[in-house]
Amino acid sequence: MKLKKFFITAAIALGVALPASAATEGVDYEVLPVEVTPIYKDKIEVTEFFAYWCPTCAYVEPFLSKHARTFASDTIFRQEHIVWDEERDLGFARLAAAVKQTGAGHKANSAIFNAVVEQRINLSDVDKLAQWLPAQTTFDGKKVWDAYNSFSNLPAAKQMGDWTTQYNIKSTPTVIVGGKYHVLFTEKGGVEGGMKTIDELIEKVRQERGMSKPAPKAAPVPVKSWGARLVEAANK
């Protein structure tokens, strides 16, 4: 019951539309004390730091994934799992790295969030993960499991831990644009306002770097988020 109430509160807080005004520093975003050099130097990086055990991350993820598909060709979306406590987080980071390595993306993340947040399955436990992944049908769980056990997986997960420290991540979800701007998801702006702020900050970085604006991608067909389905279920 408490979890359902949490999602209702989160949905209300994140679902309000943002007024049509420009993003304001200190309100909609803040500037990082130290700018982080991007991995993709010719791209504008939009980096989300998240945790599979974070209910708000579970709610925001489908919106971010859908919105990322509208980014122009000069912009890239990165999702990195935080590592604050290795005992708790490193297994999840390995799973996140395996999802990235296989390109399983939103389908895998949606199922993982549902398992961890709603069903309370601890997928950081390798024995439970070994049972859960091969049984998945919405994405290729066996392929993700193979990637999890690959030589490159643990270093990739530990790199997420390094980035958690480098970006000084204190909460989840945290979205950083251009290695410089931290998006603030406000109760007034909601998740739609956050998407608008991301777009404005992408353009801000583009202008600061003197980059020409490429043609945008077509907007994806709206889909009902997992968070919205949870809210509907809670209200029945």
pLDDT tens digits along 37-47: 989 989 999 99
Residue 190 and residue 12 in contact, taking contact as beta carbons nearer than 8 Å: no
Specify whether the backbone of 94 is left (phi greater than 0), alpha (psi in -120 to 50) or beta.
alpha
- Please tell me whether the overall predicted TM-score, pTM, comes out greater than 0.85 for this model: no
All domains in the chain, ordered by first residue: 2-225 (3.40.30.10)
Instruction: Tell me: pLDDT of 139 over 80.
Output: yes
Going by pLDDT thresholds of 50, 70 and 90, the confidence category of residue 190 is: confident
pLDDT for residue 233: 44
Q: Encode pLDDT of 23-33 as tens digits.
A: 899 999 999 99
Q: What is the largest CA-CA distance in the chain?
A: 52
Q: Encode pLDDT of 162-181 as tens digits.
A: 999 999 999 999 999 999 99
